[in-house]
Amino acid sequence: MGYAAYYILRNNFLLSSPELQSNFGFSKTDIGWVSGTMLVVYGVSKGVMSALADKANPKYFMAFGLLMSAAVNVMMGFTTAFWIFFGLCMLNGIFQGMGVGPAYVILASWFSRKNRGIITATFNISHNVGGGLIAPIAGGAVAWLGQEHWQAAHFMVPAAIASIVAAIVVIFGKGRTYNEGLPPTGQILGTQKEELVETKTEETKFSSWEIFRDYILKDKNVWFVSFIDVFTYMIRFGVLTWLPLYLLQEKGFSKSDMRIAFAMFEWAAIPTMLFAGILTDTLFKGRRMPLAMLALTGVFASLFLYWGGQTLTAVTIGAAIIGCLIYVPMFLSSLQTIELVPSFAAGSATGLRGLLSYVLGSYSGTALIGYTADKLGWDYGFYLIMFVVVMCIFCCFMTHLGVLAIERKKSAKV
């Protein structure tokens, strides 16, 4: 619930892009630059904040960031000047970075490898719930308040909802097992030997820098899985960021039709991700990457339907399939990341992955594709996305080889 609320304070900017164009004169390049730069700031913040989350009580860490992001969104609802809006988006990016690190710290702390696939898939639908809710929230708020109050509908109403969720996180949420007076989950359940990497030392022995230096920077598998995120984020943001303008301007859809496709992109992933979590725990025996490669192959094929479709039904189905499948390698890479390192380094590993995915992946998916669409046309943006899908499959393959090598090394010791 906490991370879903983060998303309704992040994707609301994307959905308001047509109004920003018509009311404030923002160009596609302006919107791409603001969105891309905010995501770079968010990526840097995500890297730093996730490392700090290794040393904090995660539920308080998450709730504080959510409240600060809500406060910034309220200010965005009063803003008309471009540079003030730009600055507030950057500030929002900083506070948004406090969301994901605590979440993965909790997942690494409370659950074992044999059921972490379905558990992490359940958590990961928060991306889609939050991303999918912003369209009906904004649409309902516009209907309630009137189109002339579109700023309040897109920024203030989501901020109020997120503030309520932050209070729920504080009241009902839990920190790590030791925050609640319990030993590590592996000791409770006797599952430590099932992990790819066993946690044999206490996290309190290391500083944040020592954890990052010794357990993150020196591990090539963490780097490969981080670049999976870079490419999946480029694909995701390359489609999601430009979906409103692409459907309105290139396909000639109405705003209500565009909102349907926008929501379907997010909501379609929920059942698929849950099913993928079950499959990796059962059929694939805890190996995450084969299913990721299958999903990316489906993304490549469905791009043609989204790109070439001429009817609302065809384009919406194409967007839904892309949204349905692109979140599978995203969630599997995040899950694989926390399984490649000791549990006390989960936040730091998530931080590196987040830093790279947003600084390189999301910025390319927003600013670069926006620039390409402006200068060369939409077709060249799709060519770029298709190339990125191929590179993502390659990184999944290399990560899978790394996991197999770890398993062979463990078997040899036994």
Task: Give the predicted TM-score (pTM) of the model.
Answer: 0.73
The per-residue pLDDT for range 355-387, each reduced to its tens digit, is: 888 778 777 777 777 777 777 777 787 888 888
Other residues' Cβ atoms within 10 Å of the Cβ of residue 308: 11
Q: How far is CA 183 from CA 173, 176, 207, 312, 324, in A?
A: 18, 9, 20, 54, 37
Task: Give how many domains the chain has, as a whole number.
Answer: 1
- Reply yes or no on whether the pLDDT at 293 is more than 80: yes
In a domain, residue 242? The reply is yes
Measured in residues, the chain has a length of 414
Tokens of 397: 């393959």
Q: What is the pLDDT of residues 101-152, one digit of tens each?
A: 898 888 888 888 778 888 888 888 887 788 778 778 877 887 888 777 778 8
Residue 269 has pLDDT above 80, yes or no: no
Q: Provide the sign of the torsion angle of the four alpha carbons 80, 33, 25, 13, taken in this order.
A: negative
Whose CA is closest to 352, among 236, 235, 219, 241?
A: 219
- Residue 353 in any domain: the answer is yes
The tokens for 79 are: 């803003």
Residue 201 lies in a domain: no
Whether the pLDDT of residue 69 is over 90: the answer is yes
Which domain does 359 fall in, by range?
2-174+208-413
Rounded to the nearest angstrom, the gap between the alpha carbon of residue 337 and the centroid of all alpha carbons in its chain is 14
* 53 and 105 Cβ atoms separated by less than 8 Å: yes
- Is the residue at 7 inside a domain? yes
> Which CATH number belongs to the domain containing residue 11 in this structure?
1.20.1250.20
